[in-house]
Amino acid sequence: MPWKCFIARAAGLALCLAVAATPVPSLAQAVPAQTVVVENDRGGLLAERLREIARLRQSGARVEIRGRVCLSSCTMYLAVPDICVDPDVTFGFHGPSSYGRPLSPAHFENWSQIMASHYPETLRRWFLSVARYRTSGYYRVSGAQLISMGTPRC
């Protein structure tokens, strides 16, 4: 309660208490979350993408995946709670590597699990059983296929 409430007169004190008891909307309610449009993203380093996704999740941003392609680490945006995809986007999935070079078995398993944790359950199972073993090129999945698996459509 502001210090001025303590020095208010009796009549003013009731008003001050009423104002102090009035709920204030949280910042998340008062400020609409930003919308981030991802277009034609060819991927990048996993560690950088993980930081970006954590920032988007924390901010409550909506992520819309549009354009022609969302390849490699771009697919990890599917972990953002407020996500939607355009049915015409082609998503490209492949397993982890170090700039195309194989990882040690332990690192391969670790990074595969991290990547998979960013996918809806059906996609996660497929990624872990099939797609992660491809480290050259991509398995292509359309936005329409992801929508049929439960990902919201933009």
pLDDT tens digits for range 122-142 = 999 999 999 999 988 999 999
Give the long-range contacts of residues 41-47, CB within 8 A, separation 24 or more.
41/67, 41/69, 41/70, 41/71, 41/74, 42/69, 42/71, 42/72, 42/74, 43/71, 43/72, 43/73, 43/74, 43/92, 44/72, 44/73, 44/74, 45/73, 46/73, 46/76, 46/96, 46/111, 46/114, 46/115
Residue range 98-118: average pLDDT?
Answer: 94
Which is higher by pLDDT, 40 or 3? 40
* pLDDT value of residue 5: 36
CATH fold for domain 32-148: 2-enoyl-CoA Hydratase; Chain A, domain 1 (3.90.226)
pLDDT tens digits for range 23-78 = 333 333 434 569 999 999 999 899 999 999 999 999 999 999 999 999 999 999 99
Domain ranges of the chain: 1-25, 32-148
pLDDT score of 16 more than 90: no
pTM of the model: 0.76
